[in-house]
Amino acid sequence: MHNMKAPVFLIIFLCCIGAYSFIRLQIPSPENFLVGAWNERTWNYERRPSLNKEDSKVTLPTHVQLNKGLLLHEHEKWEFLEDGTLQIVDEMENVHPYKWYLKGKGDVLLIKDQENQVLEHYKITHLDKDSMVRNFELDIQVKGLARLTFKRF
């Protein structure tokens, strides 16, 4: 009787692994959702809670210098290529090449320079085939969270 349980258990175990693998292959990865051209729509800076509700949200200026020289502008075009290249096209149509990488459960986006140094990291809070929302903590002097909203071209 004991010898009969082992083959049944093995068959059930292999069926579960097969079913999991099949389902996993059917679900698109976060990288697949991210690849393509995105248009930066809004960039909001949220301060810490304040007594005046109208002061709790402000929009950042058009040009903001972040970390090691990466400039973010409102209404930029971000194109994520399958090879890990990120091309950011600014308002003057200048193309800035970077590298991108997802880590964690696909919810942390790293932007790297050409020397593979991390410039920025974002928390992806929403990603589907048409829209994306990313957040990042600004430095201690600014004290807040910036939220960037993108729409697919």
Q: What is the pLDDT of residues 67-97, one digit of tens each?
A: 444 445 566 899 999 999 999 988 888 898 9
Segment 135-145 mean pLDDT: 61
pLDDT at 43: 79
CA distance 76 to 92: 10
Q: Which residue has the higher pLDDT, 127 or 23?
A: 127
Q: Which residues contact 151 (CB under 8 A, 6 or more apart)?
A: 38, 39, 41, 130, 131
pLDDT band, residue 51 (cuts 50/70/90) = very low
- Partners of residue 89 on adjacent β-strands: 77, 95
Cα 10 to Cα 16: distance, rounded to the nearest angstrom: 10
